[in-house]
């Protein structure tokens, strides 16, 4: 599998054509930084000596890893938000 073929597969799955557009022209702003991230990750991790299955597995692995990291970020931001809300809410005194 070539990098172009892998990009085409992922671009079709992503569904809006922007992964391919960012792969072809990464410096242009096409309006979807997630698609840009995906295109750049696939390009950075592509191994022309790998089998088709290995290429697909690596693509899944790097995107899954990014999802895990983003999930951890969301969890930490949620915790910080709750902490800040507790600080901002006035304490209720018992009557």
Report d(CA 19, CA 32) in Å as an integer: 9
Give CB contacts under 8 A, 24+ apart, made by 27-31: none
Q: What is the pLDDT of residues 28-44, one digit of tens each?
A: 999 999 999 999 999 99
Q: Is 5 helix (H, G, I), strand (E, B) or coil?
A: helix
Which tokens belong to 68? 């895990």
Residue 72, C-beta contacts closer than 8 angstroms, at least 6 positions apart: none
Model-level pTM greater than 0.75? yes
Q: What is the pLDDT of residues 70-83, one digit of tens each?
A: 999 999 999 999 88
């Amino acid at each position: 599998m070539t990098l172009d073929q892998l990009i085409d597969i992922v671009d079709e799955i992503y569904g809006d054509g922007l992964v391919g557009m960012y792969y072809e022209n990464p410096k242009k702003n096409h309006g979807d930084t997630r698609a840009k991230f995906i295109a750049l990750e696939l390009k950075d991790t592509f191994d022309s000596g790998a089998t088709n299955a290995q290429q697909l597995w690596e693509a899944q692995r790097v995107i899954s890893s990014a999802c895990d990291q983003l999930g951890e970020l969301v969890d930490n931001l949620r915790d910080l938000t709750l902490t800040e809300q507790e600080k901002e809410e006035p304490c209720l005194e018992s009557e």
